Amino acid sequence: MIHFLAFSFRRAVEGLWRNRVMSLAATVTMILTLVLLASLVILLSGMQAGLAYIEGKVEIRAELHDGVPQARVEILRSQLEALPEVASVDFVSKEQALADFRAQLTADGREDVSQYVGSNPLPAQLVVKLTDPKEFGSVRTTLEAPAGVVERVVEQQRNVDRLISITSLLRTVGLIIVALVGITVLLIVVNTIRMAVMSRADEIEIMRLVGATDAFVRWPFIFEGLLVGLIGALVTLGLLSLASAPIGQLANAIAGQAPVGFSRQLGSQVAGVVLAAGLGLGGLGAWISVRAYLRR
């Protein structure tokens, strides 16, 4: 087994070197594919994180008329809580709303403008949190059903919808691009290995005549494809690690306080995806080639 692996590896390296122009083309295309793939993974996971952050904040606020009896508010609240799409309902009194507003102003370092107003201008509110931000079902109609309770329903849903559609569009377009480039690199690997097989036609003929098993004929070529994938993946990861610091700064600048940054976990995920894609494409391309050209 060790002889077999050593033999296959030696032959693979020898083969790569023998067809070095073609091997280089395959490796560079492999790097291009993997960089694209890694960028897509990073971008999508960043957007996913941002989306999750924003979605967690999605709520429906209902501003109440002043002077609505507390009993009617409680009835509405229990009706809302009975809906399956509602996660929680909080009541914010006029006083609480004013206190929150003032706290927010102080936190932002701005002047408390409410002190110039004699009475409390803020309405009492019902804050409805949803189990799934995309499913707000009958919350709105429930809120608006009883006359004279809810003055206005405030939603952020439209913004969230827009973000979700952008993310899914990006995912689709990105996957199509990566798939196209992936097919290209696959074909280039197939061609590279085909040339390697052809340049060894005489050796393969002799190997068969002296009784080499199929494994000895085939696996060196599959190793060659795997090596193209491995080298491509390692170069890609090297490029990404060089670029990770500026990308992280850029992401932070764009996303602000939303947790979009590059965690160590994302890094290892990207490394895994890049390695798996590189080895997978290289190995698959070689396998296709060897199957097609060494058929007896």
Partner 1 sequence: MPERRVSRPRAVGTDQEARADADNASRPAVGRTGTVRVRLAMTTLLAPRSADTPVQSTLDRGPRRTRRPDAPPRPRISVALHHVSKVYPNGRRALSEVDLVIPEGDFVFLVGPSGAGKSTLIKLLVRDEVPTHGEVFVAGHELSRATGRSIPRLRRQIGIVFQDFRLLPRKTVRENVGFALEVTGTPRGRIGPAVDRVLALVGLTGQADQRPSQLSGGELQRTAIARAMIHDPKLIIADEPTGNLDPLISWEIIQLLLRINEMGTTVLMATHNAEVVTALRKRVVALEDGRIVRDEVGGYHRDY
Long-range own/partner contacts, residues 24-29 (CB < 8 A, 24 or more apart): 25/188, 25/192, 26/185, 26/188, 26/189, 26/191, 26/192, 26/228, 27/228, 27/231, 27/232, 27/235, 29/181, 29/184, 29/185, 29/188
Nearer to partner 1, 155 or 203 (CB): 203
| Structure-token match 């050209």, residue found | 293
Q: Where along the sequence are the contacts to partner 1 (CB under 8 A)?
A: 3-4, 7, 202-203, 205-214, 216
Q: List Cβ neighbours of 77 (8 Å cut-off, separation of 6 or more).
A: 89, 91, 126
In the complex, what is the shortest distance from the CB of residue 213 to partner 1, in angstroms, rounded to a whole number? 5
Nearer to partner 1, 82 or 210 (CB): 210
Q: What is the CA radius of gyration of the chain?
A: 31
In the complex, what is the shortest distance from the CB of residue 49 to partner 1, in angstroms, rounded to a whole number? 52
Phi and psi of 149, rounded to 5°?
-105, -60
- Amino acid letter for position 149: V
In the complex, what is the shortest distance from the CB of residue 277 to partner 1, in angstroms, rounded to a whole number? 32
Nearer to partner 1, 209 or 242 (CB): 209
In the complex, what is the shortest distance from the CB of residue 201 to partner 1, in angstroms, rounded to a whole number? 11
Nearer to partner 1, 67 or 211 (CB): 211
Within 13 Å, how many C-alpha atoms sit on residue 271's CB side? 12
Nearer to partner 1, 262 or 293 (CB): 293
In the complex, what is the shortest distance from the CB of residue 4 to partner 1, in angstroms, rounded to a whole number? 6
